[in-house]
Amino acid sequence: VLSVRPSPLVDLASVSTVLALPLAVALAVLRYRLYAIDRLISRTVAWALLTAALVGVYLAMVGLLQRLLAPLTGESDLAVAGATLVVAAVFTPLRRHVQAGVDRRFNRSRYDAERIVAGFRDRLRDEVDLDDLRTDLLATVGATVQPTGTSLWLREERR
């Protein structure tokens, strides 16, 4: 058997190409001000964790249902169908839970904004004074959206 060993130059080119990729990404982020890449990373981490969790649940359910249903169904694909239904039912709540955890860790401003708006919503139910409501609304908008300025226009009541 004849084996061909690449030259050291080819090895050097391969290694430098692999090492250049992270450097190129870092340069692109800095040069083009891609600072919102944290959202991309957040979503990637969330979907990777979600996919791993769902695959684990699916494989565990298939194995468990095959063992439990083997005496009743024999070689039927009922266990696979049942596991698929369980994973489909678990997907949305699990996705919400994983996304909330990832947002808490990687996208803190979004998580904090959601908490502030939820607190405003809870206070809004009991608020009757229009001046207090106006102040609270402007404070909530300022804390969540962080605009350069805020104002609130209220229509005059017609009599």
> What pLDDT does 107 receive?
66
- State pLDDT tens for residues 100-157: 787 777 767 777 888 888 888 888 888 778 888 888 888 888 888 888 888 888 777 7
pLDDT of residue 159 exceeding 70:
no
> What pLDDT does 1 receive?
61
- State pLDDT tens for residues 30-42: 888 777 777 777 7
- State pLDDT tens for residues 3-18: 677 788 888 888 898 9
Query: DSSP readout, the chain?
Result: ----PPPHHHHHHHHHHHHHHHHHHHHHHHHTT-TTHHHHHHHHHHHHHHHHHHHHHHHHHHHHHHHHHHHHHTT-THHHHHHHHHHHHHHHHHHHHHHHHHHHHH-HHHHHHHHHHHHHHHHHHH---HHHHHHHHHHHHHHHT--S------PPPP-
Residue 20 — pLDDT band, cuts 50, 70, 90? very high
- How large is the angle between the packed helices 130-144 and 108-126, nearest 10 degrees? 170
What pTM does this model have? 0.43
pLDDT of residue 2 exceeding 70:
no
Q: Taking residues 62-74, report their average pLDDT.
A: 76
pLDDT of residue 65 exceeding 80:
no
